[in-house]
Structure 1
Amino acid sequence: MTRGDTALPVTLDRGSAVPLAVQLADKLRESAATGHLRGGDRLPSTRALADRLGVSRTVTSAAYEQLHAEGWILGRHGSGTYVTTSPPAARPERRGFVTNDEAPDNLLMLTPGVPWADGLDRAAWRRAWRAAADTAPAAYLNRAGITEYRAAISEHLLRHRGLDAGTDSVLATGGTTAAVVELASAVLRPGDLVAVEEPGYQRAVQAFRRAGVRVVGVPIDGQGLRPQALPSGVRAVYCSPAHQYPLGCRMSAARRVELVERARAEHFLVVEDDYDGELRYDVAPLPLLASLAPDVVVHLGTTSKILTPTLGAGWMVAPPSVTTAVLDYRELTGTRPSPAGQWVLVELARHGDLGRHLRRLRRELSERRTMLVGAFKKAGVPVLGDDAGAHLVVPLPTQEDERERVSAGKRRGVLLDGLGRHFARTPTVYGVAVGYAGCSREGLQESLWVLVDLLRQRPR
Structure 2
Amino acid sequence: MSYADTALPVSLDRDAATPLAVQLADALREAAAGGHLRGGDRLPSTRALAERLGVSRTVTSAAYEQLHAEGWIAGRHGSGTYVTTPPTRAAASVTVPGSLLAEAEPAPLLDLAPGTPWAGGLDRAAWRRAWRAAADPEPLTRAHRAGLPEYRATVSEHLLRHRGLAAGSVLATGGTTAAVVELAAAVLRRGAVVAFEEPGYQRAVQAFRQAGLTVVGVPVDEEGLRPDAIPAAARAVYCSPAHQYPMGSRMSAARRVQLVERARAEGMLVIEDDYDGELRFDVAPLPMLAALAPDVVVHLGTTSKILTPTLGAGWLVAPASVVDSILAYRDLTGTRPSPAGQRVLVELARTGDLGRHLRKLRREMAERRTVLVAALSNAGIPFVGDDAGAHLVVPTESAEAEAELIAAAERHSIRLDGLARHFAGTPTTHGIALGYAGCSREALMAAVPTLVDLLR
Report Cα offsets for 1:396-424 as digits up to 9, x if no partner.
11000000001111001100000000000
Contact 2:419-2:432 at 8 Å conserved across structures: yes
Could you tell me which of 144, 155, 158 is aligned with 1:156? 158
Please report how far the alpha carbon of residue 94 of structure 1 lies from its aligned counterpart in structure 2 after TM superposition.
7.2
**Cα distance change of structure 1 residues 102 and 413 upon mapping to structure 2, 3 Å threshold:** farther
Please report how far the alpha carbon of residue 170 of structure 1 lies from its aligned counterpart in structure 2 after TM superposition.
0.3
**TM superposition score normalised by structure 2:** 0.78
Please report how far the alpha carbon of residue 96 of structure 1 lies from its aligned counterpart in structure 2 after TM superposition.
4.9
Match of 1:245 in 2: 245
Contact 1:160-1:285 at 8 Å conserved across structures: no
Match of 1:369 in 2: 369
Distance in 2, matches of 1:101 and 1:159, equals 37
Match of 2:135 in 1: 133
Match of 1:183 in 2: 183
Distance in 1, matches of 2:129 and 2:200, equals 37
Which residues in structure 2 correspond to 1:405-424 (within 5 Å)?
A: 405-424=405-424
Contact 1:416-1:433 at 8 Å conserved across structures: yes
SS in structure 1 of the partner of residue 287 of structure 2: coil
Structure 2 portions without partners, runs of 5+? 1-94
**Cα distance change of structure 1 residues 265 and 175 upon mapping to structure 2, 3 Å threshold:** same
Distance in 2, matches of 1:342 and 1:379, equals 45
Please report how far the alpha carbon of residue 106 of structure 1 lies from its aligned counterpart in structure 2 after TM superposition.
4.4
Structure 1 portions without partners, runs of 5+? 1-92
Contact 2:108-2:415 at 8 Å conserved across structures: no
Match of 1:110 in 2: 112
Please report how far the alpha carbon of residue 103 of structure 1 lies from its aligned counterpart in structure 2 after TM superposition.
7.3
**Cα distance change of structure 1 residues 443 and 253 upon mapping to structure 2, 3 Å threshold:** same
Matched pairs, number = 362
Contact 2:382-2:395 at 8 Å conserved across structures: yes
Contact 1:279-1:285 at 8 Å conserved across structures: no
Q: Which residue type is aligned with residue 222 of structure 2?
A: G
Distance in 1, matches of 2:401 and 2:175, equals 34
SS in structure 1 of the partner of residue 271 of structure 2: strand
Contact 2:253-2:286 at 8 Å conserved across structures: no
Please report how far the alpha carbon of residue 194 of structure 1 lies from its aligned counterpart in structure 2 after TM superposition.
0.3
**Cα distance change of structure 1 residues 152 and 120 upon mapping to structure 2, 3 Å threshold:** same
Which residues in structure 2 correspond to 1:351-390 (within 5 Å)?
A: 351-390=351-390
Distance in 1, matches of 2:103 and 2:297, equals 31
Match of 1:254 in 2: 254
Distance in 2, matches of 1:103 and 1:441, equals 23
Distance in 2, matches of 1:125 and 1:96, equals 32
SS in structure 2 of the partner of residue 165 of structure 1: coil
SS in structure 1 of the partner of residue 364 of structure 2: helix
Distance in 2, matches of 1:156 and 1:212, equals 34
Q: Which residue type is aligned with residue 193 of structure 2?
A: L
Distance in 2, matches of 1:291 and 1:201, equals 23
SS in structure 1 of the partner of residue 234 of structure 2: coil
Match of 2:202 in 1: 202
Are 2:298 and 1:288 aligned?
no
Distance in 1, matches of 2:354 and 2:228, equals 39
SS in structure 2 of the partner of residue 235 of structure 1: strand
Match of 1:278 in 2: 278
Match of 2:123 in 1: 121
Are 2:97 and 1:95 aligned?
yes
Report Cα offsets for 1:66-121 as digits up to 9, x if no partner.
xxxxxxxxxxxxxxxxxxxxxxxxxxx97254366677454201000000001000
Identity %: 72
SS in structure 2 of the partner of residue 190 of structure 1: coil
Please report how far the alpha carbon of residue 141 of structure 1 lies from its aligned counterpart in structure 2 after TM superposition.
1.0
Please report how far the alpha carbon of residue 286 of structure 1 lies from its aligned counterpart in structure 2 after TM superposition.
2.8
SS in structure 2 of the partner of residue 98 of structure 1: helix
Please report how far the alpha carbon of residue 285 of structure 1 lies from its aligned counterpart in structure 2 after TM superposition.
2.8
Q: Which residue type is aligned with residue 223 of structure 2?
A: Q
Match of 1:225 in 2: 225
Report Cα offsets for 1:342-397 as digits up to 9, x if no partner.
00000000000000000000000000000000000000011100000000100011
SS in structure 2 of the partner of residue 197 of structure 1: strand
Which residues in structure 2 correspond to 1:159-178 (within 5 Å)?
A: 159-166=161-168, 169-178=169-178
Distance in 2, matches of 1:435 and 1:252, equals 24
Match of 1:451 in 2: 451
**Cα distance change of structure 1 residues 403 and 102 upon mapping to structure 2, 3 Å threshold:** farther
Contact 2:151-2:345 at 8 Å conserved across structures: yes
Please report how far the alpha carbon of residue 287 of structure 1 lies from its aligned counterpart in structure 2 after TM superposition.
1.5
Match of 1:32 in 2: none
Distance in 2, matches of 1:119 and 1:173, equals 24
Contact 1:391-1:435 at 8 Å conserved across structures: yes
Report Cα offsets for 1:184-237 as digits up to 9, x if no partner.
000011100000000000000000000000000001110000000011121100
Please report how far the alpha carbon of residue 142 of structure 1 lies from its aligned counterpart in structure 2 after TM superposition.
1.1
SS in structure 1 of the partner of residue 219 of structure 2: strand
Match of 2:144 in 1: 142
> Please, what is the CA RMSD of the aligned residues?
1.3
Distance in 2, matches of 1:111 and 1:431, equals 12
Distance in 2, matches of 1:278 and 1:370, equals 18
Contact 2:300-2:317 at 8 Å conserved across structures: yes
Distance in 1, matches of 2:258 and 2:103, equals 37
Are 2:221 and 1:193 aligned?
no
Larger C-alpha radius of gyration, 1 or 2?
2
Contact 2:384-2:393 at 8 Å conserved across structures: yes
Match of 2:297 in 1: 297
